[in-house]
Structure 1
Amino acid sequence: MVTSENLPADVRSRVDVPATERQQATPAEETAELVDWSPFGRVVPILAASPGAGATSTAVAIADALQLAGRSVLLVDAGDPVRSGLGRAARADGPRRDGPGPAAGIRFSRRARAVLARLDVADLAAEAVLFPPPPYWHPGGGRGVDVTVVDIGHDPWRLASDPALGPGQWLRVGSPSPIPALVVRPTVPALAHAEQVLARLAPWVRAGTVTPPTQLLVVGARQWPKGVAGTAGRRTSVLLPEAVFFPHNHEVAAHGITADVTPSSLRTPADQLLRSWRVLPQRTRRRRARWPRHARDSNGRVADHDTG
């Protein structure tokens, strides 16, 4: 099992300090130590500009597109269990691994051929919950991971207060470099929230501690409604030209994420996004992987055909 000795020195020193004595750090106090992300392949953290933005459905669509392209995928659900949108993303819960403290651990399950790793917090924990650093989230057992998709699923304002602790650790500068994306709704308030999140992260970016989001994902539309994009702030406006749109899907909106494969309307932009990032190659005639035969969609149809 991974121990605190395997963690970066600046994180280890703060994880080992009791929560009652831990002081909030500032970017100037951080050591820009590169993280070795190679055990996780390419790391794709998905942030939400605001609650309900659609980060969970977007992260799962990306993970599903990857495994249908034949990639080994780790899908990380870093959100608080009571706020998680992935509680039904697997057909059965798998084994639990303790984190740095007994109050918080990781539960590993299967979503088709992908590994789903979810934060698991003990009920009535008697001690402060220490968020498990990334090494604890690797499934181990010699399992290779091509891509790790992280649904940060956390209040972005709180996350950006100290990215060296909590889910913000998935944004840490390292090799290969993470590819963070920021999810927004196609509304004026959503763009305002996005600007605030980017501004909140800016000091950590300047300090070389975290990798900034360079991709905007717009959930719930095929294009910007009239008059919305023009309200973007200075930081967000830079991301507008390359924004990727994930259209509204009634089934996902009504029922949330289940163990069924996400609809093709969501996987298609996810697939295009992954190819633009060069996480997936340009299209070839190679046959794509199939969703397991037992996985059925909401209408009871077997989703084991070539869905590319």
Structure 2
Amino acid sequence: MTTQTNLAPTARPPRAARGGIRPSRQNVIGWLFLMPAIVLIGVFTITPFAQAILLSFQSWDGVSAESPWVGFENYEFVAGDPIFWASMRNVLFFGVIGFVLGNGIALGMALAVNRVAKGKTFFRTVFYLPGVLSVVVVGLLFSFILAPGSGVLNRLLELAGLGVLAQNWLGEPAIALPAVAAVFIWFHWGFGFLLFLAGLQDIPKELYEAAELDGAKAWAQFRYVTWPQLAPVSSIVSLLTLLAALQIFGTVQVLTNGGPGYHTMVPTLAIFNEAFVNWRYGSAAAMSVIFGGALVLLSILQLAITGRRSRT
């Protein structure tokens, strides 16, 4: 006797039950939405950078119709230019100060405001207010505050009996760079403060309650609850702050214009002067290629480090 088993074919669910739009069509729709942004990036970012690379191998004064090919002469000039490499050292100082001190202040103030029961809206507005001002306004404001002799800061020090601490804040080579860095931090830390505060408010309170039941004190709660939960936010804030510090231009131009000497010169201002003051567009393009390449490599490294930390 033979037993025959009839296996009924499994009915395939309709397309709507399988999730609606097919994956291939979803990809096409996604690319269509991304296309305007891709076109804008290509036109306003990739194309100018490619043109700068091409110009870096040419000699052009910005006026002549001809731009002869000079090969690597512009890069040889930049390699021996002490002003450009001094600006690279200075911008590295801005990057470290902005990354460590700027982000530290933003995180500390966000932690403090997050614990306030009332007035969070007021503190958010006040602390972010400097970031609303234009670079020129901030530069002129602090030029008045840090002016020697009659500057507001020196007058306040004299009234407090600390006149011996009065300085030519923007004219002394040893003081000018830290003074400009302090202005930069005051101008930019509000953005990181808002992002950190938003991240803190998204952390579930149940995590802190569980940590308290386990006997965790304030530092342990920050180390094992707050900081890991802020990993995505801290990655974004760190990258944006670092790039803003490395690309600083307007603050330095208005406050010191790279002086005294070249003690506050930064690469963006050195490139600007090389092109629009010295009329050497080829060497300015070579500077921009070197500096832009350094920014790209640093951004990739920063994203790799923060991405690895967020996954652990």
TM-score tier by shorter-chain length is under 0.3
Higher strand share: 1
TM-score (norm 1): 0.21
Report which of the two structures shows the higher radius of gyration computed on alpha carbons. Answer: 2
TM-score by length of 2: 0.21
- By percentage of residues, which structure has more helix? 2
